Amino acid sequence: MKKFLNILMIAVLGGLITLGGYFLIQKTSAKSRTTNQTDVIQLPTSFTGYSSGSFTQALPDFAVAADVSIHAVVHIKTEYERKNSFYDDFFGLGELFGIRPYVEKGPLRGAGSGVIIRTDGYIVTNNHVVQDANKIEVTLNDKRTYSATIVGTDPSTDLAVIKIEEANLPYLSYGDSDALKIGEWVLAVGNPFNLTSTVTAGIVSAKARNINILGSEAGTAIESFIQTDAAVNRGNSGGALVNTRGELVGINAAIASGTGYYSGYSFAIPVNIVKKVVADLIEFNRVQRGYLGVKINDIDSKFAEQHNIKVLKGVYVAEVMDDGPAEEAGMKTGDIIISIGETNVNSSSELLELIGRHRPGDNVKVGINRKGNISYLTVELRNSDNTTQLISKDEISVTPRLGITVENASQELLKKLNISHGVQISNIERNSVIANSGVKKGFVIVEIDRKPVRRVEDIARILEGKKGAILMEGIYPNGVRAYYAFGL
C-alpha cells in the first residue's frame, strides 16, 4: 500500500508539473504572437493608402466640388439647316432660275455642354458645339430653358462664348491650370447622351498634349490639352474640368477613342488660355492673338543629332520672319527658346499656349539658348498683320483676300430686311476681287459657300485656306437679294 501511494503521488506531481509547463508555454507563445502581429500591421506615419483607425487617409471628398459645378454647367442643344440637293452643290444657282431645291424635312440637331462663367449669362463652350448653328437652346441644371446667341468663336482653340438673357446665375470661378500636377484628382462635369449634369472623376494624366485635331493651314491652332482619365463621352464637349476645390481648370473638348465613346483618355483646354480667349471674345467679338514671328520645331534625339544640339531642352527656331517682332528683338534662326516669361518650355504646344495668352503689343521675356549661351530677349508681340494694333469690335478689314471692309449689320437693318444675321460691306477697294465681281457697297453678306455669316470674323474663318470658286449670298438695303460667284 505504501509503495502504491508513493507511485500515485509521483504521478500526480508529474501531472501538475506537466500541466503547469503547458500553460506557461502557451502564455509565452500567445505573447509572442501578439507582439509579431503588432509588428506586421504597424504602419509608417507617411502611409497614404487605405487602413483603419488612426492611419486612414481616404480619397478627397468630391461632394463639394460636384455640388458647385453641376449648377454652373448647362446643356446646349443646337439646330442646323439641312441642305443636300444638287442645286445646293451647284452653288445654289438654281434659285436664280426660279427652281426651288428639294430639302429634306427638319433641321439637323446637335448637343453639348457649356459652363457659366459670369452671373449675367455668359457661357463658354467648344466652337464645334455651336459653330454654324441656326438655333441654340440652353437648359440649366434646374431645367430652366433659354435661347442663346453667339458672342464670338475661335476655331484656333475650339472655344466659343454664347449668352443667355438672365441675371444672378451660378457660375464657376477660374482656377489655375498651370498649378495642376500630374496625378492630381479632377472632375469632368457635362451632359453626355443628353442626360442632365453628370460628374465623373479621374486624374491628370499629362499636360501640354498636342493631338492634332485643330489643324489649320495658317498654322494658328493652339493645342496644349490637359489629358485625364475621367470618363468623357459625346455631349460632354464644352463641359467643365474642375479641381477638388470646384474651380474651373479646363473645358473638355475631345476623347481618345476608336468608337466615339470613352475608352481611357479625354482632353481639356487649359483654363489659363480659356480666360484670355473668353475675355477677347466678350470685349472684341474675336481673339486678339499675339505672334512672335518665328517658325518652330520640337527637339527630339534625332533632330538634335541632325542639328548638333547637345541638350534636349527647349524649342528650336527654324526660321525668323523678316521684320517681325522676334527679329527686331535679336532672335536668330538656330536659337533654342527655353522659356516664356518665368515658365520653362520644352514643346511647341507649351510655347504656343504661353504666347496665346498675350495680345498684340504685350512685351514678353523670351529665354534663348544660342550655342550654349543663355540670354533673355524682350519681344513686343504683334498681330497677323505685323502691327500692335488691336482690331476693333465692330469693324474688321479682310482686304488681303477680298479687298473689302465689313462691319456687323445693325439690328435695325436686320429687322428691316427680315433676316436673322449678316455683316455689311462698308468699303470696297478699287480693282479688288469683290469690286470686279460687281458687288456694291452696303451689301449685307448672309452666307459664303452656304455657311452662315453672323459676325465679321466668320468671313476669315470660312475663307481660311480656300482656293477656287466661292459663292457669296446676301441682300442689299433696298431688299434686293443677290448671288455673286468669284474665284480666289
The set of catalytic residues is 128, 158, 237
Q: Sign of the C-alpha dihedral, residues 28, 32, 38, 41?
A: negative
DSSP 237-265: TT-EEE-TTS-EEEEEEEEE-SSSS-SSE
Helix (H, G, I), strand (E, B) or coil at 124: strand
CA geometry: angle 207, 313, 368, nearest 5 deg: 110
Distance CA 112, CA 274 (A): 17
Q: Are 291 and 355 in contact (CB under 8 A)?
A: yes
- Cell 505573447 -> residue: 31
Residue 471 · residue 83 · CB < 8 Å: no
Distance CA 356, CA 383 (A): 11
With contact defined as beta carbons under 8 Å apart, do 101 and 94 qualify?
A: yes
Residue 237's nearest CA partner among 207, 206, 269, 274 is 269
In angstroms, rounded to a whole number, what is the distance separating the alpha carbons of residues 213 and 265? 15
> What is the spatial distance between Cα 303 and Cα 248, in angstroms, rounded to a whole number?
37
**Counting every residue, how long is the chain?**
488
Contact 163, 121 (CB under 8 A): yes
Residue 127, CB-side half-sphere exposure with 13 Å CA sphere: 20
List of residues 6+ apart from 196 with CB closer than 8 A: 75, 141
Q: Extract the C-alpha cell encoding 380.
A: 513686343
Alpha-carbon span 234 to 109, nearest angstrom? 13
